[in-house]
């Protein structure tokens, strides 16, 4: 993304802080007066959604974090607006998911048009019984604002604004930083440095590292407009519409009566000229009609690159989000994958800092998130190739696919206006224990645990929100388990890598409780179905809610071995 | 496996039908028909291995003379 321009300054939505225009004062830190650079366990560069996620995750579970940002404000312009179910589940764990969902525009339905006609619709979450929707649309400044408010509740998390990283020396035992402030530069040391400083990462540049990939020869115009409109909260995508011939257009609703319109412009468009209101307004009027009043909120012209760094871990420096990888916006895989990077890294770093895991556990951050980045880049590249045909033949097939999609179901599967973000199944992770017992269904080691409606302490709850901060053992039981097994499980609850124990009772069975266990009742039978559970089925779930092992019956030795493996202690 | 042995009951009839499908079309329209035809047949075949073989066989012996429109970059 580049070249954002704010064109108007209307009041923000009612009762919400104006996150977009809020500024955060630079404050001198005592570190700046220290004789020697002060050492911190974790320093994070960049207070965007990814840096804030990592910082909150670490700080709320007991790790002190220093977060540096070179600016004194949050995102300018709406920027990333589509936040996926998985991100919301992560924000739930961080304590601010509900607020985002309440403010956000919930949507599950996408519509695709070709020229004048609707071609097909897709429903991203065709089944019920999930705590969170497939997507919400929410301006990035709200996401950052809510994360920031959560961050400020955490005594272990310090944020320093107007602190710009200008020097970096990475050694095997730590990282030395030089930081520039309005009052001059000062030195810092970190045991671990997390680079969450975006596509133009200063950390990456200072370390002489590259992010490599493919640039797409196309430009897009984002126009956020404010208007009263009755259109439903759906994602509308047009290929070659009469109001913007030969190009694509995407329309999305955001909170506060803001609408995102994304116009494909082609490679020859002049990015400076296209941002001017006299060029933007006629394009929007062509879409909306001459009579509908609206105001421009934010305009940006961008092009994009699909790329990644070779490795995301460089010793004690760990790259997350756009600093590590970049994708096209079609599919909402940028911010969403970055939030998953942060979550993947946070629990591993926490275990390493606590001495509960060797630092080689962090190599699994690299391998798992490189694997995820490759999946995201593959999807993003394919969407872009469909949306922006690179030669006549690609365009012929694109148009033929869209033509056939009107009445041939098979062609609808080929239409690609963006494959929307779902969490990567970390199927090849070294932390997984491969299945020995047969399981049916889509869940597998490496996948994010499925959500389901449950009853906890007599009230309705959601399975994912009842999991712990650390590792969780989920035991599916139809009768109260025997004392001997409960006692041996209890020993794992207090180990170096403690296991939180959750019993998922079959729906409709008589209630019982077990001291030391969280007992959930499978409210609608969906938990047992989604986990393909039988009485005695046991799942081991990581702190980031990915399944890492499962069995048809419990065996303490196998469970202990899987926990050892999943925490990098094998 | 891709079948390249005779498999059409009436080869001349098929070829004539293929030509008929292009009659009266501009080159652009003809490309449109061909693209639809390929997609329809590919879905009918379904087998990924057969399709891959067919794609390779179709491209065999052609030396690429055009450039790809995307470029590689570093940052």
Question: What ipTM was estimated for this complex?
Answer: 0.92
Closest-CA residue of chain A to B28: A396
- Enclosing H/E stretch for B37: helix B27-45
* B43 interface with A at CB cutoff 8 Å: yes
* Helix locations, A388-450, DSSP H: 392-405, 409-414
CA distance B35 to chain A (A): 5
- pLDDT tens-place string over residues A242-271: 999 999 999 999 999 999 999 999 999 999
pLDDT at position A216: 84
Q: How many CB atoms are closer than 10 A to CB B44?
A: 8
Res. B73: pLDDT tops 60: no
CA distance B59 to chain A (A): 14
Contact assessment for residue A149 and residue A438, using Cβ atoms and an 8 Å cutoff: no
Residue B36 is nearest to which of A211, A392, A400, comparing CB atoms? A400
Position B70 confidence tier, pLDDT thresholds 50, 70, 90: low
At residue A356, φ and ψ (nearest 5 deg) are -90, -5
Contact assessment for residue A309 and residue A211, using Cβ atoms and an 8 Å cutoff: yes
Cα A556 off chain centre by: 34
pLDDT at position A3: 34
Placement of tokens 């996401």 in the chain:
A143
- Spans of chain A below 70 pLDDT: 1-15
pTM of the predicted model as reported, rounded to 2 decimal places = 0.93
- pLDDT tens-place string over residues B29-50: 999 999 999 999 999 999 999 9
Percent of chain B with pLDDT over 90: 84
Tokens matching residue A114: 């070709």
Size of interface A-B (CB pairs under 8 A): 60
pLDDT at position A2: 34
Mean pLDDT of B12-38: 97
* Helix locations, A65-129, DSSP H: 85-94, 97-103
Q: Which residues of A219-256 are buried (b: 16+ CB within 10 A; e: fewer)?
A: bbbbbbbbeeeeeebbbbbbbbbeebeebbbbbbbbbb
Q: Mutation test of the interface with chain B: which of A397, A398, A413, A414, choosing the one with the most B Cβ atoms within 10 A? A: A397
Residue B24: partners with Cβ closer than 8 Å, 6 or more residues away:
none
CA distance A395 to A121: 22
pLDDT at position A160: 98
pLDDT at position A9: 37
């Amino acid at each position: 993304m580049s070249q954002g321009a704010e064109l108007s300054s209307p009041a923000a939505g009612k009762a919400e802080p104006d996150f977009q225009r809020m500024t955060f004062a630079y404050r001198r830190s005592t570190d700046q007066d220290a004789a020697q650079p002060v050492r911190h366990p974790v320093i994070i560069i960049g207070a965007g959604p990814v840096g804030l996620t990592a910082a909150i995750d670490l700080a709320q579970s007991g790790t002190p974090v220093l977060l540096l940002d070179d600016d004194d404000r949050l995102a300018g312009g709406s920027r990333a607006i589509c936040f996926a179910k998985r991100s919301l589940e992560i924000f739930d764990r961080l304590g601010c998911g509900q607020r985002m969902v309440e403010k956000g525009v919930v949507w599950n339905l996408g519509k695709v048009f070709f020229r004048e006609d609707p071609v097909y619709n897709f429903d991203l979450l065709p089944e019920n019984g999930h705590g969170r929707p497939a997507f919400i649309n929410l301006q990035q400044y709200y996401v950052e604002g809510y994360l920031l408010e959560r961050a400020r509740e955490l005594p272990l998390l310090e944020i320093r604004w107007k602190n710009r990283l200008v020097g970096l020396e990475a050694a095997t035992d730590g990282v030395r930083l030089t930081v520039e402030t309005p009052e001059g530069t000062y030195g810092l040391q970190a045991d671990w440095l997390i680079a969450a400083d975006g596509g133009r990462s200063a950390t990456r540049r200072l370390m002489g590292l590259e992010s490599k990939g493919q640039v797409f020869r196309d430009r897009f115009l984002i126009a956020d407009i404010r208007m009263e409109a009755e259109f439903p909260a759906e994602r509308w995508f047009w290929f070659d519409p009469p109001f913007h011939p030969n190009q694509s257009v995407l329309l999305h609703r955001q909170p506060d009566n803001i609408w995102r319109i994304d116009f494909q412009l082609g490679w020859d468009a002049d990015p400076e000229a296209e941002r001017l209101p006299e060029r933007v307004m006629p394009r929007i009027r062509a879409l909306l009609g001459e009579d509908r009043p609206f105001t421009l909120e934010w305009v940006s012209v961008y092009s994009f690159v699909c790329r990644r760094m070779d490795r995301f871990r460089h010793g004690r420096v760990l790259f997350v989000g756009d600093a590590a990888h970049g994708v096209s916006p079609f599919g909402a895989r940028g911010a969403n994958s970055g939030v998953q990077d942060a979550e993947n890294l946070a629990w591993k770093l926490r275990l390493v800092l606590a001495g509960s895991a060797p630092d080689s556990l962090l190599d699994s951050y690299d391998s798992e998130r490189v694997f995820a980045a490759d999946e995201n880049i593959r999807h993003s590249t394919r969407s872009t190739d469909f949306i922006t045909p690179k030669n006549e033949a690609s365009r012929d097939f694109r148009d033929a696919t869209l033509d056939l999609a009107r009445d041939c179901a098979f062609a609808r599967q080929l239409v690609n206006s963006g494959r929307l973000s779902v969490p990567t199944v970390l199927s090849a992770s070294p932390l997984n224990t491969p299945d020995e017992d047969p399981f049916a269904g889509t869940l597998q080691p490496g996948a994010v645990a499925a959500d389901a409606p449950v009853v906890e302490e007599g009230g309705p709850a959601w399975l994912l929100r009842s999991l712990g901060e650390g590792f969780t053992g989920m035991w599916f039981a139809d009768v109260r388990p025997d004392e001997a097994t409960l006692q041996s499980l209890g020993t794992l609850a207090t180990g170096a890598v403690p296991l939180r124990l959750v019993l998922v009772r079959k729906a409709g069975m008589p209630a019982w409780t077990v001291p030391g266990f969280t007992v959930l009742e499978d409210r609608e039978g969906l938990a047992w179905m989604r986990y393909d559970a039988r009485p005695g089925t046991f799942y081991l779930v990581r702190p980031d809610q990915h399944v890492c092992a499962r069995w048809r019956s419990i065996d303490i030795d196998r469970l202990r071995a899987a926990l050892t493996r999943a925490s990098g202690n094998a | 496996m891709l079948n390249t042995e005779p498999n059409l009951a009436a080869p001349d009839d098929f070829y004539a039908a293929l030509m008929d499908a292009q009659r009266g079309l501009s080159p652009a329209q003809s490309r449109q028909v061909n693209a639809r035809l390929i997609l329809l047949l590919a879905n009918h075949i379904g087998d990924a291995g057969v399709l891959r073989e067919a794609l390779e066989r179709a491209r065999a012996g052609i030396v690429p003379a055009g450039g790809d429109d995307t470029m590689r970059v570093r940052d």
